[in-house]
Amino acid sequence: MLSVEFWTNRNGPELNNKIALEPKRFDQYATAIEESGGQLSQLAADVSALVWTDYARPDLLEIALAENPQLKWVQLPFAGVDAFSKIISNNPQVVFTSAKRSYSEPVAEHALMLSLALGRILPERVRAKSWGKKYADSLFDEDLLIIGGGGIAQKLVDLLEPFRSRITVIRKRTSEPFQNSPHSKVLGFDALNSEVSIPKFIVIACALTEETRNLFDKQMFSRMRSDAYLVNVARGEVVNQHDLVEALKQKTIAAAATDVTYPEPLPEGHPMWEVENLIITPHTADTMPIVTRLFAQRLRENVKAFVEQGNLIGIVSRELGY
């Protein structure tokens, strides 16, 4: 592990906060940190913050925290922090920040692309060996539901404005700011069961919590329109995959697209690969080059805030789990 030492020459005592950087793709991150006033150094007992970039090994973060009780701030690598939920709960002395809203643009773009692909029945057309039927569902002036009210939802609402789609956003905290378009509205999670039967397009963009795990199951699919399309760019576990396969095979819903599964990678021979009206992309809404560039920008913002004792961006709520 590497540490980063920060300083600032303001009036008053010089700050000497240190932050550790887990060394994966760290060149761009180191540049971002140095541009924010940081200097790389070895991890030591006086390090007070940690930049963690490995989503796959939360167990190593747990060890790092146990061995370094002096740590005060940990920057996590992605918007979703479900893999770290236990660690966050067990370390109330540490401020955890996620990368929420960092990757909103590419993920919203991917959700839009998948919605358009489903409406033009591309799962059928890419397999076709003959001319086939003429068919298209348009996003223009169509009803669309977004589950989740964070940065992805906001960017998707922005992208959909030219389509004049009638958008309903379902979110946990309706009191927090959300920039509506002339065609969108925001409702609480208690409205989901009634609202899910209205739209032709449904996009899942919420955090994975105990409340949202298996949120879309057999019962939820039965409430949807039979000609509805489902897009998931959140976490695989928000959708019960067994129930999704059955709903698609039985035409309970028209088609679906998902960028996320459980497990990941989805193994060869899994039943989802055999469903003709399902698009699976291999968690590529934000690729590593995209993530690296955007996470480096988040580091610039949060390292500067840490050094100058300002407000960190993306603080994780222990109560909400994201």
The percentage of the chain sitting over the pLDDT mark of 90, rounded to a whole number, equals 70
Mean pLDDT check: name the lowest of 133-142, 171-180, 244-253: 171-180
The C-alpha atoms of residue 201 and residue 222 are separated, in whole angstroms, by 15
Is residue 21 classed as helix, strand or coil in its secondary structure? strand
Could you give the angle at which helices 151-160 and 104-119 cross, rounded to 10 degrees? 50
State which H helix or E strand residue 318 sits in: none
Residues of the chain with CATH 3.40.50.720: 2-101+288-307, 104-280
The C-alpha atoms of residue 102 and residue 77 are separated, in whole angstroms, by 10
Confidence band of 16 (pLDDT split at 50, 70, 90): very low
The 10s digit of each residue's pLDDT in 190-245 is 999 999 999 999 999 999 999 999 999 999 999 999 999 999 999 999 999 999 99
Burial label for 7, CB within 10 Å (0-12, 13-18, 19+), is middle
The C-alpha atoms of residue 197 and residue 210 are separated, in whole angstroms, by 23
**Is it the case that residue 4 has pLDDT exceeding 70?**
no
| 104-280 under CATH 3.40.50.1820, yes or no | no
The fold for domain 2-101+288-307 equals Rossmann fold (3.40.50)
Mean pLDDT check: name the lowest of 37-41, 44-48, 130-134, 249-253: 37-41
Please give the mean pLDDT across all residues of the chain. 89
Cβ(56)–Cβ(319) below 8 Å: no
The C-alpha atoms of residue 312 and residue 73 are separated, in whole angstroms, by 10
Handedness of CA 255, 257, 258, 263 (dihedral sign): positive
Handedness of CA 237, 241, 247, 253 (dihedral sign): positive
Alpha-carbon distances, residue 239 vs 16, 108, 149, 230, 260 (angstroms): 46, 18, 18, 10, 10
Is residue 149 classed as helix, strand or coil in its secondary structure? coil
Mean local confidence (pLDDT), 96-120: 97
Cβ(228)–Cβ(258) below 8 Å: no
Alpha-carbon distances, residue 147 vs 1, 165, 210 (angstroms): 38, 15, 15
The 10s digit of each residue's pLDDT in 32-76 is 988 887 666 566 788 888 888 887 889 999 998 999 999 999 999
**Is it the case that residue 10 has pLDDT exceeding 50?**
no
The C-alpha atoms of residue 314 and residue 222 are separated, in whole angstroms, by 36
